[in-house]
């Protein structure tokens, strides 16, 4: 049986300038989900981006309860007609 890991849904913000910032929401392992902690996130192309601050920490979620993002995206594309059905 696989080990159960605890995650928390967190809101993270990165300040680019005094008037410009980015925000993202994602699941972080419990040990990284600490309010005001500064993190480094890996982007889709494999580079690392420093300066993301945890602004909100949500409830605990076990890894087996996390949504399957690939399945969700596939269902969305099929339901909206954005993907050609073969």
Task: Look at residue 69 in the predicted model and tell me its pLDDT.
Answer: 66
Report in angstroms the alpha-carbon separations of 53 from 35, 36, 45. 8, 6, 21
What's the DSSP call for residue 3? P
Average pLDDT over all residues of the chain:
85
User: Domain extents for the chain?
Assistant: 6-80
pLDDT in tens, 7-41: 899 999 999 999 999 999 988 999 999 999 999 99
With helix as H, strand as E and coil as C, how does 10-79 read?
Answer: EEEEEECCCCCEEEEEEEEEHHHCCCCCEEEEECCCCCEEEEEEEEEEEEEEEHHHCCCHHHHHHHHHHH
């Amino acid at each position: 049986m696989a080990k159960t890991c605890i995650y928390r849904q967190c809101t993270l913000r990165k300040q680019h300038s005094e008037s410009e910032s980015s925000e993202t929401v994602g699941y972080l392992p419990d040990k990284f989900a600490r309010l005001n902690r500064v993190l480094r996130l890996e982007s889709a192309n494999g580079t690392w981006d420093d300066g993301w601050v945890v602004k909100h920490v949500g409830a605990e979620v076990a890894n087996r309860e996390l949504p399957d993002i690939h399945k969700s995206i596939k269902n969305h594309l099929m339901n909206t007609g954005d993907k050609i059905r073969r």
